[in-house]
Structure 1
């Protein structure tokens, strides 16, 4: 009888474990909430929609819009990444200005609004603006110091980078390295900052910008077979996203900072584009982002970083009708009326199917 009771108990625990894994497992996919449009719903509706209807728990905005920050007050489980505009970087490199910006833009909303990261600018290196680039790390240092002086914990400072930070020889992934002249002058001290402050290195990998006719399925996560074998590591790659992230990791490791966390600050695929634009359409966007969600939440990591989870932000939450091109207007997961453009498995009703 005792053995039977133990067996039943063990089976009960096992069932509970199996049931609880999908719902207790962290959802690692967030969204970029852009606002370059004239038809978007008010922020309080957006915050309520994300909280009640989706599994999204990370939201990145491209400024420090007080209306948005206030709208996410009390949205338990959703954290924000707030962005400093590129134009503000030089002034924020001075501690007094950084403290003033923090006092005006962030502190009034804490702790009711959960803020996870402050992103200092966006793809600053890609601007080739020497003034911005020269002030980037000092601004990051100043904001980190301002947070410390304000006794704020739980907010990290970072800056998102395009894959243009890598040299042209970053294929295969094991050969990834930062652009010559930028590696030791810019990225070594920046990675040292990330290492000291335990903040992540943010990158914006877009397989959409890297595919050709022969690599479309590889870019969309639709390849079952191995497409790329790294001749150095002998590791196999079935999708371009992993290859791009591993190339960044290789560049970081080359400078001695392979332990710094990586956050994917942007990635996505447009659901519409210009006439005769190949690889663009509803089915392609649904395939990329749907497969991305499954891949990230699987926790399998990448070939060079197995079992490592990457907080990943899809670009973007809404279609934005004031962007300059058709494709840029159609990166959204949702239309302005909250209708899904396509299904990628982020709605609460998708929980069982997702995992």
Structure 2
């Protein structure tokens, strides 16, 4: 029995590794400002259960590095901002850091990169004069231990080092940083490493004063009249994320460097905010994160680099409740510390964007709640949609929100009735999309999938003034899809 469990756990790990190893990958950042953070072995079990094969640590915590041993998970370890100055001023300090935090763990812990600081140029500019020295000293220490071919060295930077990111084709690094950035890029080129980018459409949107629509930040389809186009290249940008990555590529090329790939070391969306942070909510976070995963696993690049996949680390694994700052700062996590998801997550199991199997009808996230409730009532009543899956105890009940329930009901009605004139309107509260809204065990039928036979319609078109008696008891719950307790021990062999 023990052997069978070990084999089952190993097969699960191998499946995750094989699936994600063939193309672009989605990893996750693990912050530790968490009151009830699990032990390292429990975190690794959670990672394996969710088939997460790449992680980034902000430090080189010995407990986590030991726990990750023999897991196969690829690890980026971090040199903290507090350590950058000392390392940048002393080759011996750099060598000691590598000998303590990297060399002892290889090869059983699959360390593949070292991130030197985090947003050093904008967060601790006084350390910028020694940043490249720190990178060089760390790399030389890796050479001395014959680890330089396995472990890359880079340094994550925010979009703030590119003051004008749109249009992407004219983007350049802040001239005040040009000397340092040039040296960083020269180091990356010489060592065959990659540029680490922290890209946050959430901030791009919330600080943009309405310049761009929120759908653009959330990877949602835009109507033809609102397409985002670079006027110089005529490239169409379907998401702010792609534009940010492309602006970085153009900025790199403006300093006459080519062949340096961009890896997004942080990107995400907060699921909760304060009263002055209305866009930080669970619906937007769910939309952004799942669409980001689909986008990355699409295995393509931005318009200027279509064959360069955008490997990305989601920020972040758990909500860091001990972080200072606004409410949103504490609520970027995709999982709770018990392994359950903050919102339904299609990690590595969904069809990438661009390869959708059909057309779906979903509720508008900003629709009037009363109209949404009317539309839901009509779809589940007179519209004859099958609304059993969104009732409590069934696969699509969570997240228990009006938008989610309406989306399922609207789509079920639309797929059944479109062949006889059914529309996706619902008094302006619905829209069609090619992005599959399915998640976990909740599957949305599409126009190309086999659905139950079309029912005889009472009304072929969706109502402008819906009526009906179906109601939904909407009490939003955050705990969803618990990892079965019996499953975790199997993964801890």
**1:46 maps to what in 2?**
43
Change (3 A) 1:23 1:180: closer
Quick check: 1:50–1:56 contact (8 Å CA) kept in 2?
A: yes
Quick check: 1:246–1:302 contact (8 Å CA) kept in 2?
A: yes
**1:210 maps to what in 2?**
204
Change (3 A) 1:197 1:327: same
Runs of at least 5 residues in structure 2 that lack an aligned partner in the other structure: 1-17, 356-493
**1:8 maps to what in 2?**
none
More deviation in 281-290 or 120-129? 120-129
- Whole-angstrom CA distance in 2 between matches of 1:115 and 1:301: 25
Change (3 A) 1:63 1:343: same
Root-mean-square deviation (Å): 1.8
1:62 to 52, 58, 62: 58
Aligned residue for 2:175, secondary structure, equals coil
Quick check: 1:38–1:321 contact (8 Å CA) kept in 2?
A: yes
2:118 to 106, 119, 122: 122
Larger Rg computed on CA atoms? 2
**2:176 maps to what in 1?**
181
Quick check: 1:27–1:56 contact (8 Å CA) kept in 2?
A: no
Render the CA deviation track for 1:231-275: whole Å, top value 9, x for unaligned: 111111111001111111110011111310111000100000001
Give the paired residue count: 328
**2:217 maps to what in 1?**
219
1:353 deviation in Å? 8.8
Quick check: 1:27–1:55 contact (8 Å CA) kept in 2?
A: no
Quick check: 2:94–2:137 contact (8 Å CA) kept in 1?
A: yes
**2:246 maps to what in 1?**
246
2:103 to 61, 84, 107: 107
**2:128 maps to what in 1?**
133
Change (3 A) 1:258 1:278: farther
Q: Structure 1 length normalisation: TM-score? A: 0.88
- Whole-angstrom CA distance in 1 between matches of 2:217 and 2:350: 25
1:326 deviation in Å? 1.6
1:136 deviation in Å? 0.4
Map 1:325-344 onto structure 2 (within 5 A). 325-344=326-345
1:200 to 194, 208, 213: 194
Render the CA deviation track for 1:74-125: whole Å, top value 9, x for unaligned: 002x111111011111221222111111111111111110001100000000
1:301 deviation in Å? 1.3
Quick check: 1:47–1:71 contact (8 Å CA) kept in 2?
A: yes
- Whole-angstrom CA distance in 2 between matches of 1:221 and 1:176: 21
Change (3 A) 1:238 1:334: same
- Whole-angstrom CA distance in 1 between matches of 2:24 and 2:41: 22
- Whole-angstrom CA distance in 2 between matches of 1:173 and 1:312: 19
Q: Structure 2 length normalisation: TM-score? A: 0.64
- Whole-angstrom CA distance in 2 between matches of 1:309 and 1:242: 11
Runs of at least 5 residues in structure 1 that lack an aligned partner in the other structure: 1-20
Aligned residue for 1:182, secondary structure, equals helix
- Whole-angstrom CA distance in 1 between matches of 2:231 and 2:133: 39
Render the CA deviation track for 1:172-229: whole Å, top value 9, x for unaligned: 010110001212x111111010001011110101000011545211000012446211
- Whole-angstrom CA distance in 1 between matches of 2:318 and 2:275: 22
**1:16 maps to what in 2?**
none
- Whole-angstrom CA distance in 2 between matches of 1:23 and 1:100: 34
Q: Does 1:32 align with 2:33?
A: no
Aligned residue for 1:333, secondary structure, equals coil
